[in-house]
Amino acid sequence: MSHFKAVILDIYYRASELRRSEKGSFSIEGVLMFPILLWAYIGMYVFFEGLRENNINLKAAYTIGDLLSRETELVDMDYLNGMNNVFGWLTRSQNPVSMRVTVVRYDEVSDSHVLVWSRGVAGKPDLVQDDVDVIISPEVPILADADTAIVVETWARFDPIMEIGLTSTDIYNLVVTPPRFAEQLMFVGVGDGGGSTHDDGNGGDTGL
């Protein structure tokens, strides 16, 4: 009887020891967990790299808007192409970048932002008044009557090293800046005293 009791106790102690044991095969656990850990690490890197790229592009867009807001002379397409090159240099993008500059004026009577001029760079189309109403007006803060604002839109391609949660996409930013030293950022041939016109999207041209 005592021998049987000893066997039972031995089984009990061994079972208790097995239950509390934290021993295991490192090689098997490593094989099972390593792919998951690698996937998680790369996923975090891709995610935070995307956030970093977006932050860099946003700061670059604000820089372009600030440069344009300080301009007191007429600008032309060569000037805007140069700004696009500056934007590409600031973002250190390996892909082509593009931008669009639009100037709007607030009209208190109609409570709307009237298109003054818009020029796209690197293939981006110019905006017309209907586009301004949909894209620009919701983003422009409150302005006094006849005040103008410079709207800079930028695009830069982001290609993650691996498509884990994020895929290749265009990073888009829109920045609104008031002119600092002039009433309006002037474009050659538009509102420069030469009797030029702009397309207001209403089927006709309006002299500035």
pLDDT tens per residue, range 45-102: 888 888 888 999 999 999 999 999 999 999 999 999 999 999 999 998 888 999 999 9
Region 17-46 average pLDDT? 71
SS3 78: helix
Question: Using an 8 Å Cβ cutoff, are 136 and 129 in contact?
Answer: no
Q: Which residue has the higher pLDDT, 148 or 166?
A: 148
**Residue 117: pLDDT above 70?**
yes
Global pTM value: 0.72
**Percent over 70 (pLDDT), the chain:** 77
Tell me the domain boundaries of the chain. Answer: 26-207
**Residue 10: pLDDT above 60?**
yes
